[in-house]
Amino acid sequence: MNEINEKLLKSFSRTTDDIVSLEEFKKKLESGKQLKIKFGADVTAPFLHLGHAVNLWMMREMQEAGHKVVFLIGDFTTKIGDPTGKSQSRPIISDQDIAINSEKFIEQISNILITDNPDVFEVRRNSEWLSELSLVDFLGLLSQVTHAKLISRDMFKKRIESNSDIYMNEMLYPILQGYDSVMLESDLTIVGSDQLFNEMMGRFFQSRNNQEPQVIITTKITAGLDGVNKQSKSKN
């Protein structure tokens, strides 16, 4: 492995919780091709937080090594609502707020990422494909995933135990996020460890579509100001 890639691995070890898988990551780095890094964010608020910054600095290092970050604005999935870490359903965001928040996100990530060079940065929105997904194709995605797999998520178990509602749109969220990885042909994603389930769905669907599965690097969750709950846009 060359010196640049060795430095990347050493630097990443400080904030990495796990890699799925390290051998796959090394192989991708050694391939010499430009890797496509998926950075997805739902636009539930007009700001990012320190938890995102940890991942963004890692992505900046990848950019400096010649790889490309695809900033995926989840304008479609924002309306669905990611149930990760939530004890109740997330409020629906208006189209106007989604548009405003998206622009503010791009402004904020430019403080860390290289955003003025199209060779290493690109902005996409998942409404590009999810809003065009036919019912037949959507049902085809659903037919590949069992109810037991989806309901195994810890946050759903907690809601069931507390007799709280679980809406079908929330259960379908990981499927849509996984499909994003297929459409982007993602090589790598760097996320908080709470997003592992969703991104594993990406690996699953990529394999089913004859793509090389993305590597998932999970980072340690950054605590919020109360020292208990995670940094979260939804929690302000």
Structure-token pair, residue 48: 């990012």
Please provide residue 58's backbone torsions phi and psi, each rounded to the nearest 5 degrees.
Answer: -65, -40
pLDDT of residue 107 exceeding 50: yes
Q: How far apart are CA 105 and CA 108, in angstroms?
A: 5
pLDDT at residue 79, rounded to an integer: 78
Q: How far apart are CA 234 and CA 225, in angstroms?
A: 14
Confirm if 28 and 35 have CB atoms less than 8 A apart: yes
Virtual torsion, Cα 82, 226, 59, 19, nearest 10 deg: -70
Q: Is 190 helix (H, G, I), strand (E, B) or coil?
A: strand
Q: CB atoms < 10 A from the CB of 224, how many?
A: 16
Q: For the chain, state the CA radius of gyration.
A: 17
Report residue 179's pLDDT band, with 50, 70 and 90 as the boundaries: very high
Whole-number Cα distances in Å, 179 to 75, 123, 201: 14, 17, 8
Contacts of 89 (CB under 8 A, 6+ apart): 81, 83, 165, 167, 170
pLDDT digits (tens, 9 = 90+) for 5-20: 898 899 998 889 999 9
Q: What is the mean pLDDT of the chain?
A: 87
pTM of the model: 0.86
Report residue 81's pLDDT band, with 50, 70 and 90 as the boundaries: low
pLDDT at residue 225, rounded to an integer: 72
Of residues 96 and 61, the one with the higher pLDDT is 61
Q: At what angle do helices 50-64 and 3-12 cross, to 10 degrees?
A: 170
pLDDT of residue 198 exceeding 50: yes
Of all residues in the chain, what percent carry a pLDDT higher than 70?
A: 89
pLDDT at residue 229, rounded to an integer: 66
